[in-house]
Amino acid sequence: MRIVVDAFGSDNCPVPDVAGAVEAAREWGDEIVLVGPEKRIRQELAKYETAGLPISVVHAPDVLTMEHHARDVRRMTESSVRVGMQLVKEGAADAFVSAGNTIAVLSSAIFDLRRIRGIRRPALAVFYPIAVGPVLLLDVGATADPRPEYVVQFAQMGAVYVEKVMGITNPRVGLLANGEEDEKGTLILRDIHRLLAEEEGLNFVGNVEPKEISRGAADLVVTDGFTGNIMLKTTETVASFIPRFLKEKLGEGPLAKAALVLLLPALVVALPGLLLLAPNLRRIAKRLDYAEYGGALLFGVNGIVIVGHGRSNAKAIKNAIRQAREAVAGEVLETIKAGLAK
C-alpha cells in the first residue's frame, strides 16, 4: 500500500515525521510518500540510510501551522496537508497521516475527500488507553458542539467499525455522562440519550461514567468532540504524571532515602522475581504511552485519515502509519459505508 505522511505536521517537524516514516518503511515495506518542502525533507532524509527503502518525496511549498484557521485551508492549495489529501482523493495513495493542525487536517479532509454520503459531521476515534479491554471512544476532537443527531451517526459508524473490524458482535454502545441515570447531564445530553435509545439496531446500554469505561462497561462510547478531547488529554496527562510523581516522591526527604537504603538488601534478594515481572511492567508502560497509539482515525470522510498529536515523536509517527495501514488492510472505509447503507 502507499501511505502519505505530512512531513511538516508535528511541533518539531520535520525531524520526528521523517524519522517515523523511515522506521515504518524499514519494518513494513509499504511505500511512504513524504509531503512538504522538498529541500528540507531531503536534508532530513540524508541523515538515514534509505537505499532500497520505498520512500518518495512530493513537493508542497506551503505549510499549515497551528496559527492557521479553517478559512486558510481552502486558499492554501499547495500546503502539505492539501497536497497529501489530493493524492488520496485521486487514488494515488491509500491513506494520509498528519500530526499537524487538527482543524486544518479536518477541513482539508472535508474539502478534498468529502463526507461519506449521509454523514453530517466527521468524528475522531481512539481506543481508550486505560480500559480493561478495547473500548472505542469518539468523538475526541473533530466536532466540538454537535447536534444530538450527529452523535447518533457517530454511534452508527463506531458500531460498524467495532463489529466488522474488531470482531465484537452486537457491540455495546454507551454515552459518556456524569452519572448512570437517564436524566443525568445537560439538556443536549438527555436529547442524545433519547435518540440513542430509540435507534433501532444499536445495542445502547445507557449512560456510562469515566470509571465505568475503564471497567469495560461498553465496547463503544460516544460523546461530543469537546468533552471527548478533554477526557482523552486528561487521561494521557494522568498516565504520564504517575511515573514522574512516584520517581520524585519515593526518594524525597531523609526518611525516605534511609528507607531506600534499608530496602536495598531486600531488593537484591527479590531481583530474580522482579526480572520475571519485567515483561508485565513493560506491557504496562506500553499501555500508558500515548506514542503507542499513534493517532486518531477520522470517521465520516471518503478516505483513511489518521490525525496524530502535535507533540508526536518518531515512535508516534511510526504507529500512526501502522494505524493507517491496518485501516486500509481492514477495509475500514468500505466496511463503514456498507454498514451505513445497510
Q: Tell me: the pLDDT tens digits for 104-143?
A: 999 999 999 999 988 999 999 998 877 778 899 999 999 9
Omega into 37 within 30° of 0, i.e. cis? no
Report the number of distinct structural domains present in the chain.
2
Phi (first) and psi of residue 137, to 5 degrees: -115, 125
The torsion angle over the Cα atoms of residues 115, 117, 120 and 123, rounded to 10 degrees, is -50
Domain containing 98 equals 1-119+300-342
Same domain? 92 vs 43: yes
Residue where one domain finishes, among candidates 192, 219, 251:
251
pLDDT of residue 219: 94
Question: Quick one: what percent of the chain has pLDDT higher than 90?
Answer: 57
Strands across the sheet containing 95-98: 55-59, 31-36, 2-6, 95-98, 304-308, 295-299, 123-127, 136-138, 220-222, 172-176, 203-208
User: pTM for this one?
Assistant: 0.84
Count the Cβ atoms, other than its own, within 10 Å of residue 75.
Answer: 10
Same domain, 203 and 178: yes
**Claim to verify: residue 233 and residue 315 sit in the same structural domain:** no
**Is 264 domain-assigned?**
no
Contacts of 33 (CB under 8 A, 6+ apart): 2, 3, 4, 5, 55, 56, 57, 58, 84, 87, 93
Please check whether residues 157 and 229 belong to one and the same domain. Answer: yes
Indicate whether 139 and 78 sit together in one domain. no
44 and 74 fall within a common domain? yes
Domain membership flag for residue 268? no
CA distance 292 to 129: 10
Same domain, 75 and 156: no
pLDDT tens readout for residues 187-239: 899 999 999 999 988 999 999 998 898 888 999 999 999 999 898 888 777 76
Lowest pLDDT segment from 11-15, 233-237, 274-278, 306-310? 274-278
Looking at the structure, do residues 35 and 152 belong to the same domain, yes or no? no
CATH number for the domain harbouring residue 236: 3.40.718.10
The grid cell for 301 is 470522510
Q: Closest Cα partner for 20 from 307, 290, 321, 309?
A: 321
Among residues 251, 268, 290, the one where a domain terminates is: 251
Question: Do 91 and 133 fall into the same domain?
Answer: no
Specify if 287 maps to a domain.
no
Examine the pLDDT at 157 and tell me if it is beyond 80. Answer: yes
- The residue behind cell 452519572 is 179
Residue 8 has pLDDT above 90, yes or no: yes
